[in-house]
Every structure is written in structure tokens, then in C-alpha cells.
């Protein structure tokens, strides 16, 4: 599970930071990629990575500002053109359907895969046996969502070496033991799955926020997360401007990370007013409050460490 | 007057060719730039040139396929964000208005300049004292237009040195002489403007075509043009595929240039199936039929020579 930042700028593209997009690589977990936001030229950025558009299974849109959605029609079309056939679901605020529908219709883009569009409200927007995704509204000029992605705990690995040593050979019985069942063997022995299972592997929590001022819902979404991706459009000291434009500063992001008790903070969505050389300074501002902070740049990849109890 | 190619690929972006866009620089003529098509990431390409988005006065859209329009909402928004205040007119096939309106509406992009959208049909779509632009429908899977841009002849320059030698000093009279008037001076002399004017400067004709199979309207639009920009999606020998997908090959473009009697041909809209190294081969195919051919690549700039009678 890795985050690959495709665009880490704010508002308009700059040479060194494209507009917003962020890939959550779930290749080991489900051979899939989830995208968060899709600013213009996201598909162009992808050309410079090893990401396969056909592996994109879900696209979550935080809000409908152009720098977060104008790459969507192009990516949807190219995914089809490049042989993507599997289902794709786009989750986003109301309005996203009209935008996608008109764009594909007018351009006569005919997708060869089933596209599902889900206009979201607050609450659980996706859940399966592996993941749960919760959305909450943040504090921005237009409806902007934050997402809390919870990976479910995985049962520990089955100790096959020990089982075979005891004469219990691989077969369907292994899955039953993995499920924790108590089984009576043909020879009369009774064995319990949990005696052969390692400790549960704790799932991870990743919080990815759309554009926002610091707010209570951001705090709730980030509560004890393993990783928080928070916007930091402005530098410390520009709180007035941040408030005016419904954004946050580096230190506001760090303060929120601290209050939420997250393990790691990643600053994202940096205004193009800051030059490449200033990234270090922005990072230091946040680190003064929350030491375990990194700052995203285009093509920066961040592994989300495996959780532990 | 120069053409600056911003995207010269077909269908989907590739690393070495972006999707379609082409700037006609009219800086000397009217301190303005006209754009032809606006594929995704056109504004990103512009970042790598000296073009100023605020100088873009008109955008002509040949057809509504995604690779020709998906960069439009982003560019319109950024032009405003970067301080563009002057009028901008977009000309395109019916449907272009819905696409722009919904994209700007959903993303709450508020332009600070007046945007005019003209849904075009065949005929003269623009005319002022300098230029005349004519549109005709080509032969593509959806309505695709070609444009013939005619620069009007300019009167020759006024011989101020001669006038002053004859005691006629600069003033409003010079404009009247430039207009060809016959004027009686205070001292009784009668002088005629045309005696002091150099030869007319012949205007140029540039023909820029959207995606198309070879067709009669392409021939009409290109008739005796100084420069023809023609798509060449496929290599010579792939005429079957070109016909199937409503495109042209290098040699079909060259044949049309020859029949139309243009002065120069520029191949454009090259499929991403052809590698960068193959451009020379594609060019040679066309040159075999029409020697004065060049092939466009991203950021290629082509000066349109001043016409002569
Ligand atoms: Zn934003
Ligand atoms: Zn095309």
C-alpha cells in the first residue's frame, strides 16, 4: 500500500507541481489503484509512472473545483482506449454526474467498460471485506469532502510448518482453521484454528482530505490515522489569506495532525506561489509542531507502513 | 505571423506528442494569439512557451472529440486566474456551449472576462478589417470543420521621406493620403495618395483542417493557400485504416496539397503508434508527392512568410 502523488499543486498547474491527483496503490491488497481527485493532465502524469489506467478501480473526488476534476473525462476515455474493460466507480459530490455525462456525450466518448457514478453524501460510501471508506464534509468554498479509508484487520498467517509437523496436510481444512474453527480430525484429535494463527494484522487508516480550513470533521476523519494527507496551500503566517480562501497553512495542518493523534502527516496541495526551493521551509514550519511530517511533490511515493496492535 | 504547435498527436497523449492544439501567433498583426483546438494539458504546454494566455483572443474548435476540447475549461479558468480581462471568443460545432457551460458551472469557475461562445455552421464565421475566417465541414466521424484564414491585403507604406522633402509634414493628412485620397493643399498644389504609396502587401492564406478523410471541402479550403496544416494520422499504405477511422495518411495529405496548389504543407495530428524516430519517414512519404512539406512536432514553430503579388 503506497501513496503516489501525481499532482501536488493548488488552483493552476505550475511547471513543478501539477494540479491535484493522488493514487493509492493497492496492488498487493487487491491488484488495484484508487485515485483521489483528477486534475487536468493527470493522465499525462500517469504516463511518467508505472501505473496502469486499467487498474484504476475507483476514483474519489473531494470537490468539484476545476483543478480537481478537469482531467477526469480524458482519463476515463484513455482508460477505455488503452484496453481497460473492468468496472470503474467514480465517487464525488453532486454535480459530478452532469459533468462526466456531458463531457463524454459531447465528445462522443464511448467507454468499453461499465462506469458507475456515485454522488455522495456524508457517511460510509464504500465497504467490502477489505476496506471501509467514510466521507465527511469539510470547510471549503464549495462542498469538499474528506475521506477516511479504513483497512480491515486481517487474521494472522496460519502456521503451515507446525500443522504439517503434526501430520495435518494442506487442503480445505487450512481455510477452516484460518477462519478460527475448532475441528475434530478423522483420528479423533480436536484442534483449534486460533492455536495455529499468528497475531492479527492490524489494518491501516489513511485520511485524505479535500481543500479545507481546519475543522471538526477533519479532526474526526483523521482521528488516530496512520497517515493524514492534509492540504497546506499557504505558508505559516498566511492564516488570514488561508481563511479568506477556505484553505489551511502548514502549521494549521500540523496542529490538526497533532490534535488528531495521527502517526504521520503529509502536506499536499501547495500554492504555486511557493517555489520548489521553498518546500523545505514549508516542511520545517509543520515539523515545528508535528515532527513526523513529510511534504508531497509530484511523483513522490510514500509507503504506508503495516500497522501493528 | 507564426504557427506554434502545442500538441501534434492523435487521440491520446503520448510522452512526445500531446493531444491537439495549435497557436496562430498574430502578435505583430494584432497583438493577439488565436488557438486552434484545445486538447487536455494545452495550458500545461503553454507553460513551456512564451505565449501569454491573456493574449488568446479567439479559440477555434475543429470538432468535439475529447483530444481536441478537454483542455478548454482549464485554459479558460487559468486565463482568468492569471489576470486575463479582455474578451475571448470560442468558435466550435454545436455542443461546445453545453460542454463549456456545464464544466464552468459545476466547477464554479467564475471568469473575470467576457466569454463569447459561437456555435458555427459553414460559411464566414469571422471578419474584420484584417482577417476573414471561413469554415467548411470535412469528412470525419462527427462534424469536423476546416478553417481558411485569409489575411486581407494591406496598403503599401507611405513614403514619408518623399512627402517631407516636398514640404508636406506629418499630421492627419498622412492618414488621408494612406487611404488614397486626392488632396488640395493650402498652397494650391493637388497631390494623390497613390503617388506616395508602395505596392500593396498581399495577405496570406492559412488553412487549418480538423480530423478528416481527404474530401472536396478540404480542397476548397486549401485552394492556393500559403500554408496548409493537414492531419496525417497514419503512414502511407494505411489508407484502409485511415478510411475506416475517418482520417488521412501522409500521402493523402500530400496529394491534396498538390491538387489544391498550396505553397507549403505541414503534417499534423500524428498517431502515437509512430515513434519519434519515425517522423522523418512519415515526412519523406509526403515529400515524394509534395516536396515543400514539413512535419509538426510539439513546440515546433513555423513562420508564415509574408505574401507577395
Ligand atoms: Zn484545490
Ligand atoms: Zn483527433
Dump pLDDT digits (tens) for A273-286: 999 899 999 999 99
d(CA B117, nearest CA chain A) in Å: 15
Within 8 A by CB and 6+ apart from A291, the residues are none
- What gap in Å lies between CA A206 and CA A268, rounded to an integer? 14
Question: Which residue on chain A is closest to B66 by alpha carbon?
Answer: A107
Q: How far is the CA of B257 from the centre of ligand 2 (A)?
A: 20
Whether residue B65 and residue A107 make contact (CB cut-off 8 A), yes or no, is: yes
pLDDT of residue B307: 62
Per-residue pLDDT tens digits for B270-292:
999 999 999 999 999 999 999 99
Asked if A40's CB is within 8 angstroms of B103's CB, the reply is: no
CB contact (8 A) between residue A107 and residue B66: yes
Using the beta-carbon criterion (under 8 Å), do A66 and B82 form an inter-chain contact?
no
The pLDDT confidence band at residue A305, using thresholds 50, 70 and 90, is: confident
The ligand that comes nearest to the alpha carbon of residue A212 is 1
Residue A71 in contact with residue A98, Cβ under 8 Å? Answer: no
Q: B102 vs A107: CB contact, 8 Å cut-off?
A: no
Q: If you measure from the C-alpha of residue B6 to the centroid of ligand 2, how many angstroms do you get, rounded to a whole number?
A: 14
Is residue A230 part of an annotated ligand binding site?
Answer: no
Measured CA to CA, the distance from residue B295 to residue A176 in angstroms comes to: 66
Q: According to the annotation, is A65 in a ligand binding site? A: yes
The DSSP symbol for A225 reads: -
Q: Name every chain A residue with its beta carbon within 8 A of the beta carbon of B77.
A: 12, 66
User: Hey, are the CB atoms on A15 and B47 less than 8 Å from each other?
Assistant: yes
| DSSP-assigned beta bridge partners for residue B265 | B228, B293
How many C-beta neighbours within 10 Å does residue B216 have? 10
| C-alpha A209 – ligand 1 centre gap (Å) | 11
* B65 contact residues in A (CB cutoff 8 A): 107-108
Joined grid coordinates for residue A212? 479545507
Task: Please provide residue B201's backbone torsions phi and psi, each rounded to the nearest 5 degrees.
Answer: -95, 120
pLDDT digits (tens, 9 = 90+) for A120-172: 999 999 999 999 999 999 999 999 999 999 999 988 889 999 999 999 999 99
- Smallest CA–CA distance from B142 into chain A, residue: A108
Of residues A11, A48, A77, nearest to B66 (C-beta): A77
Q: What share of chain B is helix, strand, coil (3-state, %, to 5)?
A: 30, 30, 40
Nearest to A208 by CA among A3, A1, A17, A56: A3
Q: Within chain B, which residues score under 70 in pLDDT?
A: 307-309
| Ligand 1 centroid, distance to A63 Cα (angstroms) | 8
Enzyme catalytic residues of B: 67
In this complex, the residue of B43, B96, B107 whose CB is nearest that of residue A65 is B107
What's the pLDDT band for A180 if we cut at 50, 70, 90?
confident
Say how many Å lie between the CA of residue A34 and the centre of ligand 2.
Answer: 29
Residues 6+ apart with CB under 8 A from A50: none
ipTM entry? 0.89
Q: Are A65 and A95 in contact (CB under 8 A)?
A: no
Output the pLDDT for position A306.
75
Structural Rg of chain A based on CA atoms: 22
Q: DSSP per residue over A74-143, as a string?
A: HHHHHHHHTT--S-EEEEESTTHHHHHHHHHHHTT---SS-EEEEE--SEEEEE-SSEEEEEEE-SSSS-
The pocket of ion ligand 1, defined by CB under 5 A, consists of A 67, 211
| Option in A13, A47, A74 nearest B70 (CB) | A74
pLDDT tens, A197-228? 988 889 999 999 999 999 999 999 999 999 99
Cβ contact B95–A78 (<8 Å) = no
Nearest to A120 by CA among A169, A61, A199, A72: A61
Buried/exposed B126-149: b ≥16 CB within 10 Å, e otherwise: beeeebbbbbbbbbbeebbbbbbb
The predicted structure's pLDDT at residue A309: 43
CA-CA distance, B118 to B125, in Å (whole number)?
Answer: 9
With CB atoms and an 8 Å threshold, state whether B13 touches A43.
yes
When mean pLDDT is compared across A5-9, A25-29, B87-91, B151-155, the lowest value belongs to B151-155
Catalytic residue from among A67, A87, A200, A226: A67
Partners of A141 on chain B (C-beta within 8 Å) are 108
B48 to chain A: which residues are within 8 Å by CB? 15
Using CA atoms, how far residue A270 sits from A14, A228, B46, B284, in Å, is 11, 15, 21, 47
Residue of B nearest to A63 (CA): B107
**CA–CA distance, A154 with A130 (Å, rounded to integer):** 8
B243 CA to centre of ligand 2 in angstroms: 14
Check CB contact under 8 Å for A64 and B107: yes
Across the interface, which of A12, A18, A47 has its CB nearest the CB of B13? Answer: A47
Query: What distance in Å separates the CA atoms of residue B21 and residue B34, rounded to the nearest whole number?
Result: 11
Closest residue of chain A to B77, computed from CA coordinates: A66
CA–CA separation, A169 vs A15, rounded Å? 59
Domain boundaries along the sequence of chain B? 2-154+200-303, 160-193
Does B65 carry a binding-site annotation? yes
How close B259 comes to chain A (CA, Å)?
A: 32
Confidence band (pLDDT; 50, 70, 90) for A307?
low
Distance B231 CA to ligand 2 centre (A): 9
- What percentage of residues in chain A have a pLDDT greater than 70? 99
Name the CATH architecture for the domain at B2-154+200-303: 4-Layer Sandwich (3.60)
Q: Is there a binding annotation on residue A269?
A: yes
Tell me how many residue pairs between chain A and chain B have CB atoms under 8 A apart.
106
Average pLDDT over all residues of chain A: 95
Q: Can you read off the three cell numbers belonging to residue B110?
A: 467564475
Nearest Cβ partner of B65 from A41, A108, A142?
Answer: A108
Closest ligand, as measured to the CA of B77:
1
CB A66 within 8 A of CB B73: yes
Q: Where does chain B show beta strands of DSSP type E?
A: 2-7, 9-10, 21-26, 32-38, 56-60, 88-92, 115-119, 123-127, 131-137, 145-151, 182-184, 190-192, 205-209, 227-231, 265-268, 270-271, 293-295, 301-303
pLDDT for residue A203? 94
In this model, does residue A46 exceed pLDDT 50?
yes
Compute the distance between CA of residue A250 and CA of residue A230 in angstroms, rounded to an integer: 9
Give the strands of the sheet with B227-231, arranged side by side. Answer: B123-127, B131-137, B145-151, B205-209, B227-231, B265-268, B293-295
The answer to whether A16 is a known ligand-binding residue is no
State the smallest CA–CA distance between residue A196 and chain B in angstroms. 52
pLDDT of residue A200: 85
Residue A68 CA to ligand 1 centre (angstroms): 6
> Residue B108 is nearest to which of A65, A78, A102, comparing CB atoms?
A65
- Return the bridge partners of B184, or none: B190
Residues A244-275: pLDDT tens digits?
A: 999 999 999 999 999 999 999 999 999 999 99
Q: What is d(CA B8, CA B22) in angstroms, rounded to the nearest whole number? A: 8
User: Residue holding cell 496544416?
Assistant: B229
Beta carbons within 8 Å of B222's beta carbon, 6+ residues apart:
B148, B207, B209, B228, B230, B256, B257, B260, B262
- Considering chain A, what percentage of its residues have pLDDT values greater than 90? 91
Considering only A6-10, A85-89, B153-157, which range has the smallest mean pLDDT? B153-157
Amino acid at each position: 500500500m503506497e501513496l503516489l502523488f501525481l499532482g501536488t499543486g493548488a488552483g493552476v498547474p505550475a511547471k513543478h507541481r501539477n494540479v491535484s491527483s493522488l493514487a493509492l496503490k493497492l496492488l498487493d491488497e487487491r491488484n488495484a489503484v484508487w485515485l483521489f481527485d483528477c486534475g487536468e493532465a493527470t493522465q499525462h502524469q500517469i504516463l511518467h509512472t508505472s501505473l496502469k489506467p486499467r487498474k484504476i478501480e475507483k476514483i474519489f473526488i473531494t470537490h468539484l473545483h476545476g483543478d480537481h476534476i478537469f482531467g477526469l473525462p480524458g482519463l476515463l476515455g484513455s482508460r477505455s482506449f488503452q484496453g481497460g474493460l473492468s468496472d470503474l466507480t467514480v465517487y464525488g459530490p453532486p454535480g459530478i454526474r452532469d459533468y462526466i455525462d456531458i463531457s463524454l456525450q459531447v465528445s462522443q466518448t464511448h467507454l468499453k467498460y461499465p462506469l458507475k457514478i456515485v454522488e455522495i453524501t456524508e457517511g460510509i460510501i464504500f465497504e467490502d471485506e477489505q476496506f471501509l471508506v467514510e466521507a465527511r464534509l469539510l470547510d471549503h468554498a464549495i462542498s469538499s469532502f474528506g475521506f477516511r479509508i479504513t483497512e480491515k484487520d486481517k487474521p494472522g498467517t496460519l502456521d503451515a510448518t507446525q500443522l504439517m509437523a503434526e501430520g495435518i496436510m494442506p487442503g480445505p481444512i487450512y481455510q477452516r482453521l484460518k477462519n478460527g474453527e475448532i475441528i475434530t480430525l478423522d483420528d479423533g484429535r480436536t484442534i483449534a484454528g486460533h492455536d495455529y494463527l499468528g497475531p492479527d494484522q492490524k489494518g491501516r487508516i489513511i485520511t485524505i482530505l479535500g481543500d479545507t480550513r481546519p475543522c471538526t470533521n477533519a479532526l474526526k476523519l483523521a482521528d488516530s490515522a496512520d497517515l493524514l494527507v492534509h492540504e497546506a496551500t499557504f505558508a505559516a503566517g498566511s492564516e488570514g489569506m488561508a481563511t479568506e480562501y477556505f484553505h489551511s497553512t502548514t502549521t494549521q495542518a500540523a496542529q490538526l495532525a497533532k490534535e488528531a493523534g495521527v502517526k504521520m502527516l503529509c502536506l499536499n496541495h501547495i500554492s504555486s506561489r511557493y517555489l520548489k526551493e521553498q518546500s523545505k521551509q514549508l516542511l520545517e514550519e509543520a515539523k515545528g509542531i508535528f515532527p513526523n511530517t513529510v511534504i508531497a511533490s509530484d511523483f513522490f511515493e510514500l509507503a504506508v507502513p503495516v500497522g501493528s496492535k
